[in-house]
């Protein structure tokens, strides 16, 4: 199950965890979970930054609010879908050389 956790300081972070887990309430919990999910436990702070993975700020003590990301209809998954057929330009038939 994926959830969006929103920190007023750090932004929104998508975190995957079990429905049975308690919702995180603190930004630092979200950060810890994201570090775990991304296998960053052994990485130094600057390596994490260099990796481009966005995490909540290290010392953030804000509360977070949770939204469930359904993934249906709302999330636009980049530019994958139209390459599979939708929006294909007709380029083969009339374009003889
Ligand atoms: Zn935060």
- Over residues 68-97, the pLDDT tens digits come to 765 544 444 455 544 455 555 555 566 666
Q: Per-residue pLDDT averaged across 16-28, rounded?
A: 93
Q: Per-residue pLDDT averaged across 56-79, rounded?
A: 72
Q: How far is the CA of 27 from the centre of ligand 1 (A)?
A: 5
| Residue 57, C-beta contacts closer than 8 angstroms, at least 6 positions apart | 9, 10, 27, 31
Q: What percentage of residues in the chain have a pLDDT greater than 90?
A: 47
| Residue 90, C-beta contacts closer than 8 angstroms, at least 6 positions apart | none
Q: How far is the CA of 81 from the centre of ligand 1 (A)?
A: 33
Its pTM stands at 0.67
The DSSP call for residue 81 is: G
Cα–Cα distance between 35 and 20 in angstroms, integer?
20
Cα–Cα distance between 56 and 20 in angstroms, integer?
23
Q: How far is the CA of 34 from the centre of ligand 1 (A)?
A: 13
pLDDT at 92: 57
Q: How far is the CA of 51 from the centre of ligand 1 (A)?
A: 19
Cα–Cα distance between 41 and 25 in angstroms, integer?
21
């Amino acid at each position: 199950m994926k959830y969006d956790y929103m920190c007023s300081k750090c932004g929104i972070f998508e975190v995957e965890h079990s429905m049975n887990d308690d919702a995180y309430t603190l930004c630092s919990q979200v950060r810890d979970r994201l570090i775990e999910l991304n296998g960053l436990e052994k990485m130094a702070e600057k390596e994490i930054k260099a990796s481009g993975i966005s995490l909540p700020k290290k010392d953030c003590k804000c509360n977070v609010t949770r939204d469930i990301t359904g993934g249906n209809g709302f999330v636009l998954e980049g530019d994958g879908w139209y390459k599979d057929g939708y929006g294909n330009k007709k380029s083969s038939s009339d374009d003889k050389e």
